[in-house]
Structure 1
């Protein structure tokens, strides 16, 4: 036991493999949904070019390796030991270079993708700024990352449908993007009520209040969009999310053991319903 503890302290967190397990759902789900939507748009295009088949994986490479670089950058920003900081910066350079190659390939084949920098760059800049200020786990940093992730859905749809223009994205895909952003943003205050803010009743009220407002917004969007199956699943997602935002902290206060792993596992069914809602919007 003692030897294991010493080894863990000596080596610390690996900058090469992100250890924020809760972030993986936010990282992977919109990317996977975006790939499905992009390939669907490619198949349905009247006179499809085959460039999207190269651009779609390039975008995924840019996104995932960009996140890996950002994770390592966050560790480097917090490191006070120069030697440790240098070790954390190595994956920043490696992953950052791979991400830039993905961006370069995508822009070379679809130059119009440059317009997507207008929404993406400010969101990334916010996350980087919060990290430099020592607030890498702030709600603002989390929300900016979540919205950037949700933007993959319309961006990859535009890639598959033609030349990558923002104006090529169907309205329903933008609605799905907002839905994903609202859902994943809600996981931020919810998780904080179970970990860092578990004894803060004010934060619990903020979390529950956010979920109520998000549910109302999603309900209004579902009615407006007219995609009844997708809308029903989206409303169900936010209803279940609201329920768990109330019940799980309540049960924890009354002695129910809620580990971080158990909280994460409890989120899986909610995530699956959210993904089903987006897929229903794409196919039905």
Structure 2
């Protein structure tokens, strides 16, 4: 039986970027490898579990879940040997995960609150990777996690206006307004960090309504995410 692979391609950037930011802004160790593998396989396990909640008659989803989760547990044990206190973060993550389960059961995974909770979970992954070696949750990682959350929320609004909500004027104004306020807010609070969000504002306005395929939207958003990632690393190291 084939393993189930998550179909939300945009989620891979959300999975990787906060985690790697936590490593680079903190202090890397070889133990981050099993920690990341545990994080990766937890994500892989979550998808078939939510699909099973949505379609409980399809038992084959459980096959993928148990395989992924077993690998995640093995990797997590190695990581916990290095820093066992990261287990407490799982308690913080549970409310968001329960909300994901609720929307999956309702067959409404595209709900904005569901997306928001998923982004929060990914950003907590960045806090975990930072705490793993730094042994603290300080202002630096809070700033980086908040910036990551704000970026991915903007990405969510933008992608909706380009695909599922492209004929919905409300989402268009929400996306444009959100990105504009984000640039204005960073100009007021910390002008240098505006650099990380300017391309997002430009693409949300100038690409809207254009005849762009889903693949092209994904490629352009991946490029923008790489730009955001590099910008935040450089800015965080220089300013925080």
Match of 2:37 among 61, 70, 91: 61
1:191-206 equivalences under 5 Å are 191-206=159-174
2:212 partner SS:
coil
Q: Kindly provide the CA deviation profile for residues 150-196 of structure 1, in whole angstroms up to 9, marking residues without a partner as x.
A: 222222111122xx4xxx23312211110011001111121111111
Q: Supply the distance in 1 between the matched residues of 2:216 and 2:33 (Cα, whole angstroms).
A: 33
Q: Kindly provide the CA deviation profile for residues 257-283 of structure 1, in whole angstroms up to 9, marking residues without a partner as x.
A: 210111112223321221122211443
The 1:132/1:221 distance shift into structure 2, 3 A limit, reads farther
In the other structure, the counterpart of 1:35 is 23
In the other structure, the counterpart of 2:153 is 185
Q: How many residue pairs are counted as aligned between the two chains?
A: 238
Tell me whether 110-119 or 57-66 shows the greater mean CA deviation: 110-119
Of the two structures, which has the highest relative contact order with CA contacts closer than 8 Å and spacing of 6 or more? 2
Q: Supply the distance in 1 between the matched residues of 2:226 and 2:121 (Cα, whole angstroms).
A: 20
User: Are the counterparts in 2 of residues 15 and 71 from structure 1 also a CA contact under 8 Å?
Assistant: no
In the other structure, the counterpart of 1:269 is 223
Q: Supply the distance in 1 between the matched residues of 2:49 and 2:141 (Cα, whole angstroms).
A: 32
1:249 partner SS:
coil
1:16-95 equivalences under 5 Å are 16-38=4-26, 41=27, 53-54=30-31, 56-79=32-55, 82=57, 85-95=58-68
Q: Supply the distance in 1 between the matched residues of 2:93 and 2:236 (Cα, whole angstroms).
A: 23
Q: Supply the distance in 1 between the matched residues of 2:205 and 2:77 (Cα, whole angstroms).
A: 45
The 1:159/1:195 distance shift into structure 2, 3 A limit, reads same
In the other structure, the counterpart of 1:46 is none
Structure 1, unmatched stretches of 5+, are: 1-10, 43-51, 224-231
User: Are the counterparts in 2 of residues 74 and 131 from structure 1 also a CA contact under 8 Å?
Assistant: yes
In the other structure, the counterpart of 2:85 is 112
Q: Supply the distance in 2 between the matched residues of 1:145 and 1:178 (Cα, whole angstroms).
A: 14
Q: TM-score, normalised by structure 2?
A: 0.87
Structure 2, unmatched stretches of 5+, are: none
**Residue 207 (structure 2) pairs with residue 248 (structure 1):** yes
- Aligned-pair RMSD on alpha carbons? 2.3
Q: TM-score, normalised by structure 1?
A: 0.75
Measured after TM superposition, the shift of residue 15 of structure 1 is 5.1
Q: Supply the distance in 1 between the matched residues of 2:235 and 2:196 (Cα, whole angstroms).
A: 14
In the other structure, the counterpart of 1:47 is none
Match of 2:213 among 254, 259, 276: 259
User: Are the counterparts in 1 of residues 54 and 106 from structure 2 also a CA contact under 8 Å?
Assistant: no
Q: Supply the distance in 2 between the matched residues of 1:220 and 1:69 (Cα, whole angstroms).
A: 41
Q: Supply the distance in 2 between the matched residues of 1:130 and 1:277 (Cα, whole angstroms).
A: 34
Q: Supply the distance in 2 between the matched residues of 1:101 and 1:142 (Cα, whole angstroms).
A: 29
**Residue 111 (structure 2) pairs with residue 138 (structure 1):** yes
